[in-house]
Amino acid sequence: MQNIAWIDGTFSALSEAKISIEDRGYLLGDGVYEVIRVYNGIPFYLDSHLERFRKSAEAIRIKTPFTIDQMKGVISELIKKSVCTEGYIYMQLTRGSARRDHLFPADVSPTLVMYGRELGKIPEIDAVEPQECITLPDERWLNCYIKTINLLPNALARQKAAEAGAIEAVLYRKGGIVTEGTRSNVFAVIDGKVRTHPATNLILSGISRAIVLEILRESEVPLLEKAFDLQELESASEVWLTSTTMEVNPVKAVDGKLLERPAPGPVCRRLMEAFRGRIAEECLEDVR
């Protein structure tokens, strides 16, 4: 794979790509981003990702400088130039470059950046390693539905998780209410029903989350988009995480305590298989 970047209409080697030191994304975190998984050279659920990207930009009052169709064309060309067959496309939009000031600059052009990275082929389901999580207080702001580049609280929490030998930190707010992970949505089977936090301002409603919810509804699996607390998480029979890069990832232990059932449990495994089916339908002939 060649590491290629695209910035405001220009392709270059990723190592040579540059933005201004006064870019508001660099100085103030004034921007949004998106990550799009690529399988077999085809972006997965591209329309859904670009629509969320547009909504995030709209939420912080940045006008996207390119249309959805134009961005699709750039992504297609970037995949070809990068030879990105199994990886992801990263997109970042900032308000642009201007003298440092908290106020929005009057005359500034937004900066749109894209580049691709390789991830490797999707592993067989039996090769997916169930992971451990820890729980930590959710110290982020109250607009988590916006996919902003302000990720310092997420980074600090995920670092604590890594240092504890865990893949993810599951975050909770007042009353022990579980929201989501630092880079994932969290699902749990509690009293025979699948539960996950509803799509409010307290979570980033993931594209993979939406796919999993759709699969559950089609399968008529008992489902509640209803928040649960730490005590309920601890008593859950199954827990899994969803994200663009993790897909559906089974959890075997939370805060060092093994779950009731070995992971992946029956519901999680069905979802893993069905999610692979969605990937096959969109991007591949057979990944299962």
> How far apart, in whole angstroms, are the C-alpha atoms of residue 118 and residue 3?
9
Contact between 11 and 5 (Cβ < 8 Å): yes
Contact between 53 and 93 (Cβ < 8 Å): yes
> How far apart, in whole angstroms, are the C-alpha atoms of residue 48 and residue 54?
10
Which position among 18, 72, 121, 147 bears the catalytic label?
Answer: 147
Contact between 242 and 273 (Cβ < 8 Å): no
> How far apart, in whole angstroms, are the C-alpha atoms of residue 270 and residue 253?
20
Structure-token pair, residue 69: 């169709």
Residue 63 annotated in active site: no
User: Measuring CA to CA, which residue among 248, 258, 257 is closest to residue 216?
Assistant: 248
Structure-token pair, residue 91: 């997109």
Contact between 65 and 8 (Cβ < 8 Å): yes
Contact between 83 and 1 (Cβ < 8 Å): yes
Transcribe 109-169 into DSSP letters.
--EEEEEEEE--PPPPGGGSPPEEEEEEE--S-S-TTS-BS--HHHHHHHHHHHHTT-SEE
CB atoms < 10 A from the CB of 154, how many? 20
Question: Which amino acids are annotated catalytic?
Answer: 147
